[in-house]
């Protein structure tokens, strides 16, 4: 009699977790800190044990976890698949180059028709995409007004060519200084950061940049090796924000090459996804093909978690269906809500509800009143993702209407 494996039993003693961050230059530090702080906090709230340990041997960026949940002990090794260096190089832009990015990115989304279709899908992330354009334009106007004011003043004080030359020089110098001041204060405004984010996806009209494509191949090799590793019960890939886009293609390619033939369960958890921001662009043919392929695969479990309170994500939008590439026999993703307004206490929700950027990272943090979504039970608990959500119905508020004007696939 053949012994049942974790795919059939849904039980986990050892798990490999591969976390794919979004467009974030602080990838390893931020998520290690989240897990070390928020994991024990969630354990204390929910009544289980969780201990975060050192980075395991053979992993460049990550940590280990020991958990005692529902009377069972589980070990997990979390590896962060880092592409912060690619992000950092794309963000090293001069002020004029950033304004050039702004014009080009706006043109890509307007000319392709994607902006208007995204706006009909979800207002929150579309407004978030418009925010850096508005903020950078406002900064340019304020810099121009400051420069114009001092230039006009000097020209009035010193009539003639000398005053005009001094006024022009002083005006340009002050305008530049104001723009530099805004750039240095971008940790508060996030205009440059978000502009670089959207420009990165729009640069190739939705196609993957070659350097990122090569990095994704390296990620896929790491995941394939974990699937083949003895004693691993589940390989869980977690993609947050734009990291969910990378996860779709990495897993689709892994399954195409037969990379999930062992008994270990293969799972995909997408959090706060922004897939339509790319899949709606004309050259995102490979991503659209990967969405259609992954959605029909039996060898993977795909759960997509968002929340209407997260204004940066396409909340409860089925990324396959809204892109218009849902195949016959579609299985995935299971679209559910983290329901911030219910899983936070009323006091904490009042304090958090307008911290939009922070809420975009809440999926990896502790909840006061966790429902069936608990990031730490998923990544360190005794059940596979498939077993945990077996029989779970998708959110009734999910959006499945096909909205993309570009549906061709590679």
- Over residues 116-138, the mean pLDDT reads 92
DSSP result, 94-145: -HHHHHHHHHHHHHHHHHTSHHHHHHHH-HHHHHHHHHHHHHHHHHHHHHHH
Between β-strands 72-80 and 14-20, what pairing exists: parallel, antiparallel or unpaired? parallel
Containing domain of residue 380, as a range? 6-85+207-388
Query: Are 240 and 379 found together in one domain?
Result: yes
Query: Are 196 and 321 found together in one domain?
Result: no
Assess if residue 144 is contained within a domain: yes
Assess if residue 409 is contained within a domain: no
Helix residue ranges, H only, 158-274: 161-184, 186-189, 191-202, 210-227, 243-256
Query: Are 217 and 78 found together in one domain?
Result: yes
Which pTM was predicted?
Answer: 0.94
Of 285 and 150, which is predicted with more confidence?
285
Residue 1: exposure state from Cβ atoms within 10 A (0-12, 13-18, ≥19) = exposed
CA separation for the pair 357, 165 (Å, rounded): 45
Assess if residue 256 is contained within a domain: yes
Query: Are 272 and 342 found together in one domain?
Result: yes
DSSP result, 165-184: HHHHHHHHHHHHHHHHHHHH
Question: CB-based contacts of 19: which residues, under 8 Å, 6+ apart?
Answer: 31, 62, 78, 79, 80, 81, 238, 240, 243
Assess if residue 410 is contained within a domain: no
Q: What is the mean pLDDT of the chain?
A: 92
Assess if residue 404 is contained within a domain: no
Enter the tokens of residue 171.
């005006």
Cβ 280 vs Cβ 114: under 8 Å: yes
Lowest average pLDDT, out of 10-24, 141-155, 256-270, goes to 256-270
Cβ 263 vs Cβ 5: under 8 Å: yes
Query: Are 98 and 136 found together in one domain?
Result: yes
Per-residue pLDDT band for 24 (boundaries 50, 70, 90) equals: confident
pLDDT for res 40: 96
- Number of structural domains (the chain) is 2
Per-residue pLDDT band for 276 (boundaries 50, 70, 90) equals: very high
399 has pLDDT over 80: yes
pLDDT for res 57: 87
CA separation for the pair 287, 323 (Å, rounded): 10
pLDDT for res 1: 46
Query: Are 169 and 303 found together in one domain?
Result: no
Domain boundary (167, 202, 237) is at 202
Query: Are 160 and 232 found together in one domain?
Result: no
Assess if residue 397 is contained within a domain: no
Cβ 194 vs Cβ 201: under 8 Å: no
Domain boundary (202, 226, 257) is at 202
> What would the pLDDT profile of 29-74 be if each residue is shown by its tens digit?
788 888 999 999 999 999 999 999 998 988 889 999 999 999 999 9
Domain boundary (202, 221, 240) is at 202
Query: Are 189 and 218 found together in one domain?
Result: no
CA separation for the pair 373, 282 (Å, rounded): 34
CA separation for the pair 117, 276 (Å, rounded): 10
Share of the chain above pLDDT 90, in %: 77
Enter the tokens of residue 396.
């009734």
Query: Are 250 and 366 found together in one domain?
Result: yes
Sheet order of strands, 301-306 included: 49-53, 62-69, 72-80, 14-20, 234-240, 265-271, 301-306, 334-337
CA separation for the pair 141, 175 (Å, rounded): 9
Q: Which of 327, 360, 362 has the alpha carbon at shortest distance from 23?
A: 360
- Over residues 172-191, the mean pLDDT reads 93
Query: Are 179 and 215 found together in one domain?
Result: no
Assess if residue 393 is contained within a domain: no
- Looking up residue 293, the CATH number of its domain turns out to be 3.40.50
CA separation for the pair 350, 45 (Å, rounded): 20
Assess if residue 293 is contained within a domain: yes
372 has pLDDT over 50: yes
pLDDT for res 81: 93
Residue 144: exposure state from Cβ atoms within 10 A (0-12, 13-18, ≥19) = middle
Query: Are 362 and 377 found together in one domain?
Result: yes
pLDDT for res 371: 87
Cis, bond preceding 14 (omega within 30 deg of 0): no
Share of the chain above pLDDT 70, in %: 98
Helix, strand and coil content of the chain, in percent to the nearest 5, comes to 50, 15, 35
Between β-strands 62-69 and 49-53, what pairing exists: parallel, antiparallel or unpaired? antiparallel
Lowest average pLDDT, out of 61-65, 186-190, 231-235, goes to 186-190
Residue 22: exposure state from Cβ atoms within 10 A (0-12, 13-18, ≥19) = buried
> What would the pLDDT profile of 84-114 be if each residue is shown by its tens digit?
999 988 888 899 999 999 999 999 999 999 9
Query: Are 380 and 361 found together in one domain?
Result: yes
DSSP result, 300-365: -EEEEEE-TT-TTS-TTB-HHHHHT-PPTT----EEEE--HHHHS-HHHHHHHTT-HHHHTTGGGS
> What would the pLDDT profile of 286-298 be if each residue is shown by its tens digit?
999 999 999 999 9
Per-residue pLDDT band for 259 (boundaries 50, 70, 90) equals: low
CA separation for the pair 373, 335 (Å, rounded): 12
């Amino acid at each position: 009699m053949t012994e049942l494996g974790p795919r059939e039993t849904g039980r986990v003693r050892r798990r490999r977790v591969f976390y794919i961050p979004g467009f974030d230059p602080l990838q390893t530090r931020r998520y290690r800190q989240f897990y070390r702080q928020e994991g024990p906090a969630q354990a204390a709230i929910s009544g289980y044990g969780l201990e975060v340990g050192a980075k395991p041997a053979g992993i460049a960026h990550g940590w280990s976890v020991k958990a005692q949940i529902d009377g069972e002990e589980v070990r997990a090794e979390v590896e962060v698949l880092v592409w912060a260096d690619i992000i950092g190089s794309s963000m090293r832009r001069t002020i004029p180059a950033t304004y050039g990015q702004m014009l080009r990115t706006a043109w890509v989304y307007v000319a392709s028709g994607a902006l208007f279709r995204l706006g009909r899908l979800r207002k929150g992330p579309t407004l978030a995409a418009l925010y850096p354009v508005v903020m950078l334009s406002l900064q340019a106007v304020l810099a121009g007004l400051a420069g114009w004011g001092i230039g006009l003043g000097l020209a009035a004080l010193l009539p003639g060519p000398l005053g005009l030359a001094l006024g022009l020089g002083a005006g340009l110098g002050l305008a530049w200084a104001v723009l530099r001041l805004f750039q240095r204060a971008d940790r508060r405004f996030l205009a440059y950061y978000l502009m670089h984010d959207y420009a990165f996806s729009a640069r190739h009209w939705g196609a993957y940049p070659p350097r990122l494509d090569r990095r994704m191949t390296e990620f896929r090799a790491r995941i394939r090796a974990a699937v083949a590793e003895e004693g691993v019960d589940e390989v869980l890939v977690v993609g947050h924000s734009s990291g969910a886009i990378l996860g779709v293609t990495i897993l689709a390619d892994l399954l195409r090459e037969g990379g999930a033939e062992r008994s270990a369960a293969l799972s995909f958890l997408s959090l706060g996804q922004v897939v339509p921001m790319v899949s709606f662009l004309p050259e995102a043919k490979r991503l659209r093909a990967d969405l259609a392929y992954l959605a029909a695969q039996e060898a993977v479990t795909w759960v997509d978690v968002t929340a209407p309170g997260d204004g940066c994500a396409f909340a409860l939008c089925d990324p396959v269906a809204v892109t218009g590439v849902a195949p016959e026999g579609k299985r995935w993703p299971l679209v559910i809500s983290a329901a911030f307004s219910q899983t936070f206490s009323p006091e904490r929700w009042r304090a958090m509800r307008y911290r939009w950027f922070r809420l975009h990272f809440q999926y990896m943090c502790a909840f006061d009143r966790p429902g069936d979504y608990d990031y730490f039970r998923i990544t360190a608990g005794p059940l596979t993702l498939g077993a945990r959500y077996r029989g779970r119905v998708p959110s009734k508020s999910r959006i499945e209407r096909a909205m993309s004007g570009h549906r061709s696939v590679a």
